[in-house]
């Protein structure tokens, strides 16, 4: 009984930590407000539950798995449902990390390393972002590669899992395939080098099956629902254009982006771990050294590809965390004194917890102040529109207006941004066909019109948001804090 309780105590602690982290970063009834990205995903999830189809009926450039995940959360209960799903996802990620660490370290050190790592994750505003959704599958794939390097073979179900993970990551966000593909190429090259025909057949047959079957099912679903071309335009074509363009919000110089990521505490800790590992590499077994070198190479390649688009979003680093976990494990493996190691890890936990709490408290205070303005706008919209009427929002990342007002978007674009994240020429064409009863916009704002061929990088011109509709057809019924609400005369 005592042994069972002792074994469960670590997982109980991880569950409590998961609840607390999600309580701080996730949308939940205590905060009672939506974060920007979460609001969009939740809104699409709500529409899916009402029979709408992503891409065909509502525009965005994330993969369908993200929306289905939020649709499940919304089905459980609006806002609160996603909180529990995020707790589950985080708990499973932490538990898997703990089990991986236990293969190399004792229970206490393993537990402390996992807590240090997950307190350092740059959650941005949410535990429900696409990076966090990808964390568990990437972590499990690296775990399978670890097993392969030690045994030089995998079970059939393992290869099916690898194929399934690659398919899942592709339909969340293709960028997340970088490290899995590098690791899978290693398995392929090692199998060919060893001339292991049996293992090679398993890799292609079962790995291919794991990838092809779910991929075909998802593509068939999109085809049957007449959304396949919209999916291609939004998810493939647009994301290429989005990556190539340099005029997007958050873009800076290559050096500036590099410095932005490098100065993050977890990257500094990872760099120190790599240096320490390389200095003590002779202490590792040959197989272990192979895996270490593979992880370091994968870490560098992934980090470079994160920097190249010049996007200064620190939560992008989350996809490196499965690799960072192993780097921390191998770095601490050679520390002779467990007591010293435990003291260091506990100090890091206290330090990061204090920093985290301070920054998050300030962030929530700022967000709550902004959210008060959004709820005021949503209240005006609710009063002016019947429950079955729609409105158009021309404000960046303001899908939460649709959730707070419980009114749908008049177009398939529930928000409009000034940073080329959608094709404004298509929006202008759509606005020319309809006249929304209510339009929410900003004062003196501009939107960039891009080329009709979205893969071209040239910019045509800038227009004011008010040029997307005829202002003379509307009265201003609200003007406050730079926000304007127009109502059709």
Structure tokens at 275: 């240096």
How far apart, in Å, are the Cα atoms of 425 and each of 16, 239, 357, 431, 468?
48, 17, 43, 10, 9
Least confident of 3-7, 118-122, 141-145: 3-7
Residue owning tokens 């350092």: 120
Report the distance separating Cα 46 and Cα 404, nearest Å.
Answer: 13
Task: Tell whether the model's pLDDT for residue 420 goes beyond 90.
Answer: no
Report the distance separating Cα 188 and Cα 208, nearest Å.
Answer: 13
pLDDT band at 462 (very low <50, low <70, confident <90, very high): low
pLDDT in the model for residue 144: 95
Degrees to nearest 5, angle at CA 84 with 328 and 128: 60
Q: Is there a contact between 317 and 267 (Cβ–Cβ < 8 Å)?
A: yes
Report the distance separating Cα 21 and Cα 256, nearest Å.
Answer: 30
Residues with Cβ within 8 Å of 272's Cβ and at least 6 positions away in sequence, in order, are 331
Task: Tell whether the model's pLDDT for residue 246 goes beyond 60.
Answer: no
Task: Tell whether the model's pLDDT for residue 262 goes beyond 50.
Answer: yes
Least confident of 59-63, 399-403, 462-466, 484-488: 462-466
Query: Mean pLDDT across the stretch 431-438?
Result: 80
Task: Tell whether the model's pLDDT for residue 454 goes beyond 50.
Answer: no
Task: Tell whether the model's pLDDT for residue 6 goes beyond 90.
Answer: no
pLDDT in the model for residue 127: 73
pLDDT in the model for residue 450: 43
Q: Which of the 8 DSSP states describes residue 387? A: T
pLDDT in the model for residue 452: 41
Report the distance separating Cα 237 and Cα 312, nearest Å.
Answer: 22
Task: Tell whether the model's pLDDT for residue 248 goes beyond 60.
Answer: no
Q: What is the pLDDT of residues 395-410, one digit of tens each?
A: 766 788 999 999 998 8
Task: Tell whether the model's pLDDT for residue 10 goes beyond 60.
Answer: yes
pLDDT band at 159 (very low <50, low <70, confident <90, very high): very high
The 3-class SS string of the chain reads CHHHHHHHHHHHHHHHHHHHHHHHHCCCCCCCCCCHHHHHHHHHHHHHHCCCCECCCECCCCCHHHHHHHHHHHHHCCCHHHHHHHHHHHHHHHHHHHHHHHCCCCHHHHHHHHHHHHHCCCCCCCCCCHHHHHHHHHHHHHHHHHHHHHHCCCCHHHHHHHHHHHHHHHCCCHHHHHHHHHHHHHHHHHHHHCCCHHHHHHHHHHHHHHHHHHHHHHHHHHHHCCCHHHHHHHHHHHHHHHHHCCCCCCECCHHHHHHHHHCCHHHHHHHHHHHHHHHCHHHCCHHHHHHHHHHHHHHHHHHHHHHCCCECCHHHHHHHHHHHHHHHHHHHHCCCCHHHHHHHHHHHHHHHHHHHHHHHHHHHHHHHHHHHHHHHHHHHHHHHCCCCCCEEECCCCCCHHHHHHCCCECCCCCCCCCCCCCCHHHHHHHHCCCCCCEEEEECCCEEEEECCCCCCCCEEEEEEHHHHCCHHHEEEEEEECCEEEEEEC
H/E stretch holding 41 reads: helix 36-49
pLDDT band at 383 (very low <50, low <70, confident <90, very high): very high
Q: What is the pLDDT of residues 210-219, one digit of tens each?
A: 999 999 999 9
Identify the three-state secondary structure at position 392: strand
Task: Tell whether the model's pLDDT for residue 298 goes beyond 60.
Answer: yes
pLDDT band at 419 (very low <50, low <70, confident <90, very high): very low
Identify the three-state secondary structure at position 54: strand
pLDDT in the model for residue 333: 81
pLDDT > 70 fraction of the chain, expressed in percent and rounded: 79
Residues with Cβ within 8 Å of 155's Cβ and at least 6 positions away in sequence, in order, are none
The helix-helix angle for 178-193 and 197-224 (nearest 10°) equals: 150
Structure tokens at 183: 């690791």
Q: Is there a contact between 156 and 201 (Cβ–Cβ < 8 Å)?
A: no
Average pLDDT, the chain: 82
pLDDT in the model for residue 332: 84
Q: Is there a contact between 149 and 291 (Cβ–Cβ < 8 Å)?
A: yes
Least confident of 134-148, 150-164, 341-355, 416-430: 416-430
**Neighbour count for residue 133 (Cβ, 10 Å):** 26
pLDDT > 90 fraction of the chain, expressed in percent and rounded: 35
Report the distance separating Cα 171 and Cα 277, nearest Å.
Answer: 35
pLDDT band at 336 (very low <50, low <70, confident <90, very high): low
Task: Tell whether the model's pLDDT for residue 98 goes beyond 90.
Answer: yes
């Amino acid at each position: 009984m005592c042994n069972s309780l002792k074994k469960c105590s670590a997982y109980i602690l991880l569950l409590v930590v998961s609840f607390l982290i999600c309580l701080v970063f996730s949308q939940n009834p205590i905060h009672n407000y939506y974060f920007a990205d979460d609001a969009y995903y939740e809104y699409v999830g709500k529409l899916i539950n009402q029979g709408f189809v992503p891409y065909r009926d509502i525009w965005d450039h994330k993969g369908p798995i993200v929306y289905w995940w939020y649709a499940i959360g919304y089905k459980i209960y609006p806002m609160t449902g996603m909180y529990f799903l995020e707790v589950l996802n985080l708990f499973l990620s932490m538990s898997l990390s703990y089990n991986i660490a236990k293969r190399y370290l004792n229970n206490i050190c393993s537990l402390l390393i996992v807590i240090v790592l997950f307190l350092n994750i740059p959650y941005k505003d949410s535990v429900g972002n696409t990076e966090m959704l990808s964390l568990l599958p990437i972590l499990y794939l690296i775990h399978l590669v670890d097993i392969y390097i030690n045994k030089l073979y995998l079970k059939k179900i393992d290869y099916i899992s690898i194929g399934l993970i690659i398919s899942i990551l592709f339909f969340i966000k293709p960028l997340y395939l970088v490290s899995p593909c590098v690791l899978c190429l290693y398995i392929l090259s090692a199998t060919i080098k060893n001339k292991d025909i049996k293992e090679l057949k398993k890799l292609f047959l079962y790995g291919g099956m794991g990838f092809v079957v779910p991929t075909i099912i998802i593509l068939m679903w999109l085809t049957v629902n007449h959304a396949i071309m919209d999916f291609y335009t939004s998810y493939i074509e647009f994301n290429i254009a989005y990556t190539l363009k340099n005029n997007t919000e958050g873009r800076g110089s290559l050096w500036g982006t590099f410095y932005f990521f490098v100065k993050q505490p977890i990257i500094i800790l990872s760099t120190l771990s790599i240096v320490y590992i390389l200095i003590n590499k002779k202490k590792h077994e040959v197989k272990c050294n192979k895996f270490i070198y593979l992880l370091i190479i994968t870490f560098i390649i992934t980090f470079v590809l994160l920097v190249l688009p010049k996007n200064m979003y620190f939560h992008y680093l989350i996809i490196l965390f499965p690799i960072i976990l192993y780097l921390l494990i191998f770095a601490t493996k050679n520390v002779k004194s467990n007591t010293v190691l435990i003291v260091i890890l506990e100090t890091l936990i206290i330090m990061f917890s204090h920093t985290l709490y301070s920054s998050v408290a300030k962030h929530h205070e700022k967000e709550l102040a902004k959210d008060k303005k959004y709820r005021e706008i949503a209240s005006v919209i609710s009063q002016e529109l019947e429950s079955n009427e729609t409105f158009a929002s021309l404000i960046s990342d303001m899908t939460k207006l649709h959730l707070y007002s419980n009114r749908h978007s008049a177009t398939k674009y529930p928000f409009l941004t000034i940073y080329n994240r959608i094709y404004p020429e298509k929006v202008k064409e759509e606005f020319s066909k309809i006249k929304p009863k209510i339009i929410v916009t900003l004062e003196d704002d501009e939107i960039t019109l891009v080329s009709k061929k979205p893969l071209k990088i040239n910019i045509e011109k800038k227009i004011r948001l008010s040029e997307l509709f005829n202002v003379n057809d509307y009265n201003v019924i609200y003007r406050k804090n730079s926000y304007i609400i127009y109502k059709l005369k």
